[in-house]
Structure 1
Amino acid sequence: MTEAGDNGPRISVVMATYNGAAHIREQLDSLAAQTCLPAELVVTDDGSTDATLDIVADFARTAPFPVQIHRNAKRFGYKGNFMHAVTLSSGDLISFCDQDDFWKSDNLERVRQAFMNDPDVLMVFHNAHLVNERRAPISPFYATPPVPPVSRPLTLQPWCFSYGFMQTFRADLKPAGALWARMGDHYNPGKEMGHDLFFFLVASGVGTIVYLDDELTEYRLHGGNTVGSGKRTRPTFVDRWRYRLEDRADTYRYLARMTAQDSRMFADLAQTSSWSETMRNRARVAAEAWRGLEPLYILRAEVCSGTLPRRIAAFVQLVREGGYSERSFWTFGNRAMYKDFVLGVLLAPLVRRFGRESSRTDRACHRGSAHDAPMSQAAPVQAVAA
């Protein structure tokens, strides 16, 4: 067993807690059993009323690494609580840790090695295994790899992300956290961006992301998860067709606003004095890439909602501007072109009427749009499918 600082970067494990007494001791013990020990555990508690903090304090007395325990003076919510924990960390790498999961003993060792192989790697995330409340296995989180093993800047789809419990990132990204409070969520209008989505977004623009297809965490489903559900169901045949035929105009308009938001964020990050010139230059490129998406989504909304002449004009303009090109990840692709022509240009009024009827009969049927992250699916979210 080694400490993270002995032969590589120091790892801070950050854990945001709230009424986690039922399972937190198992998670803490799994941290103590790591073959590569963290340099520290930072626990920020959001006002627990059960024995959570007593359990953490008891663990801290014999833990093989320092444990910081912070009681928040005000409630942050789980996203803000994790962001707060990041600011209190001191390691070279920062690993998010949920209070109710269980880490395999080689979790940190495997993750740290991925950073040591390439200094350009800013984030590593890994597979996990879904388990029930008693840790009985259910299924892999990702049945197939969701992304390539190595993804260079701006090569991932713009709307994908990984969940925090499988993420570790370089502390170089910490300065970006100052911009988090102004970031709206890609998938839930009116909500702040998830802590995990935020750091994944930043890392995907200015550095390399590595995916390890190893189930290094047991993700516990117990019905009380803050994110996720103990009941994972497949959409029915009717649900799938409702999703394909639903009116996406509002979704595309919202995504257009998100692209503008993300562009502004990267433009501001390009001024980060503590970043290398390489990272600042990449932030400038990322700002331009996100800015270039905004008019494409505005046009796609017009294809779905305008009058027939306007729908035709928007579709033609999208084609001319390469919005459906297969040469880039940052376009919609040929399948989307065929769909937009049929369901947008030709049948938009019928689709809108179907959407209104569908909304009246079943308001829960809209899966996978920018308004509802599909937490029932164990995969990074791709908000707009072709």
Structure 2
Amino acid sequence: MNLLCLEHKISQTEFTYSFVLLTYNQAETVREAVLGALAQNCMPLEILISDDCSADATFDVIQETVASYAGPHRVILNRNDRNLGLAGHIDRIHDLSHGDVIIVAAGDDISLPQRSARIIETFEAKQPLLVCSLANEIDLSGQRISTKYRTATLYNSIDPSDVAGSRALYLGATGAWRRTLYQKYGAIIPGAYEDLVMGFRAALEGKIAVIDEALVIYRVGGGMVSSSMVSVDFSGLCSAQIRKLSTWKAVLRQRVKDAQTFGLTPSSPIWAILRTAESRANLDWAYYQNDFGIFLKLAFRNPILAIRTLWTERRRKRKLSKKLRK
């Protein structure tokens, strides 16, 4: 591990704040991400730039970029001795940072200068446990594009019943959360994405704030755990679906654990939503693993869900087949 600290005093507010930039194999984009972090126009922050043992020149670029920095923020550089994966890296940055609030950024996105100031204003005024915002989207070449990310649940509802079964809660690169939210529920299960976990935790607690302003330039198709997998044939489709299902099953295991920690009563409708989502995920998993013995056993217990799985996945394959014929 390589730690470099540039000491600056952090101004007093009700909460203290750490801006955390997570990087992994992002040598081509990380300079802009680091410059965005250093350009935060707000009270002095603790800025932790943490690299998860990249195999490329990411950490070298980070060191070069911060070498001449002489601004007001306190900068900490870290490079993990071994790759921890996203969940392990999230746990590590909680050990290395000190703020009551963790403002998260990614090594292929750019935080706009006002981002931290707007997040700080929101935490101080509303005292939520999690804050997220809007973003301006670009493709891998830097061109502006538009996706449907605002259909993610928290941009439309913070009701935990709506959140429990959702596979898209908010853009993780726009998020910030209270350290206490992480401490109460504990480390994230390996394989799960932090936005799908922290968003559910905050929804259970009923303390979420959404800033209706673009505070991040979000690079679509990049990321440490990009979901933009291109399937060129049926084999590729199956592999992509298995990867996605592996993540989703980990998220659901974490949500069940967190619901127990929160103390949901057996009569809560959230339990039914989680159990149904688990059953559906297990059916999908058996289908794509070609384990039809398990699929039939699960289908016997959940015939309606099994029919839905068969209809959905066959429709997905038909669409791919049409695409391949073009």
Report the TM-score, using the length of structure 1 for normalisation. 0.59
Q: Which residue of 1 aligns with 2:258?
A: 265
Give the 3-state SS of the residue equivalent to 2:122 in structure 1: helix
Distance 1:172 1:356 in 2: 40
Distance 1:92 1:224, change over 3 A: closer
Q: Which amino acid aligns with 2:119?
A: V
Distance 2:135 2:63 in 1: 28
Q: Aligned pair 1:200/2:199, yes or no? A: yes
Contact 1:126/1:215 (CA < 8 Å) preserved in 2?
yes
Distance 1:286 1:41 in 2: 40
Give the 3-state SS of the residue equivalent to 2:20 in structure 1: strand
Contact 2:256/2:274 (CA < 8 Å) preserved in 1?
no
Contact 2:40/2:115 (CA < 8 Å) preserved in 1?
yes
Deviation at 1:292, TM superposition (A): 4.4
1:180 to 185, 188, 200: 188
Distance 1:32 1:146 in 2: 31
- Which structure 1 segments of 5+ residues have no match? 182-190, 232-250, 270-282, 312-343, 366-386
Q: Deviations over 1:97-147 (max 9, x none)?
A: 10111111111111111111223x100101111113453321266456854
Distance 1:13 1:155 in 2: 31
Distance 1:28 1:288, change over 3 A: farther
Distance 1:4 1:140 in 2: 37
Report the TM-score, using the length of structure 2 for normalisation. 0.69
Distance 1:259 1:292 in 2: 12
Q: Which residue of 1 aligns with 2:237?
A: none
Distance 1:59 1:258 in 2: 35
Give the 3-state SS of the residue equivalent to 2:208 in structure 1: strand
Distance 2:140 2:309 in 1: 42
Aligned positions of 1:39-50 closer than 5 A: 39-50=45-56
Q: Which residue of 2 aligns with 1:74?
A: 82
2:146 to 118, 126, 139: 139
Q: Which amino acid aligns with 1:122?
A: L
Where has structure 1 moved over 6 Å in runs of 4 or more?
A: 257-260, 297-302
Distance 1:16 1:287, change over 3 A: farther
Q: Identity percentage over the alignment? A: 22
Distance 1:144 1:356 in 2: 22
Distance 2:11 2:186 in 1: 27
Q: Deviations over 1:342-370 (max 9, x none)?
A: xx49xx87x777568668x55969xxxxx
Deviation at 1:30, TM superposition (A): 1.5
2:41 to 35, 56, 60: 35
Q: Which amino acid aligns with 1:125?
A: C
Distance 2:88 2:253 in 1: 23
Give the 3-state SS of the residue equivalent to 1:180 in structure 2: coil
1:108 to 113, 116, 127: 116
Q: Which amino acid aligns with 1:210?
A: A
Q: How many residues get paired?
A: 278
Contact 1:36/1:108 (CA < 8 Å) preserved in 2?
yes
Q: Which residue of 2 aligns with 1:169?
A: 177
Deviation at 1:163, TM superposition (A): 3.0
Deviation at 1:306, TM superposition (A): 4.4
Deviation at 1:223, TM superposition (A): 5.6
Distance 1:165 1:260, change over 3 A: closer
1:126 to 121, 124, 133: 133
Contact 1:87/1:174 (CA < 8 Å) preserved in 2?
no
Distance 2:223 2:276 in 1: 39
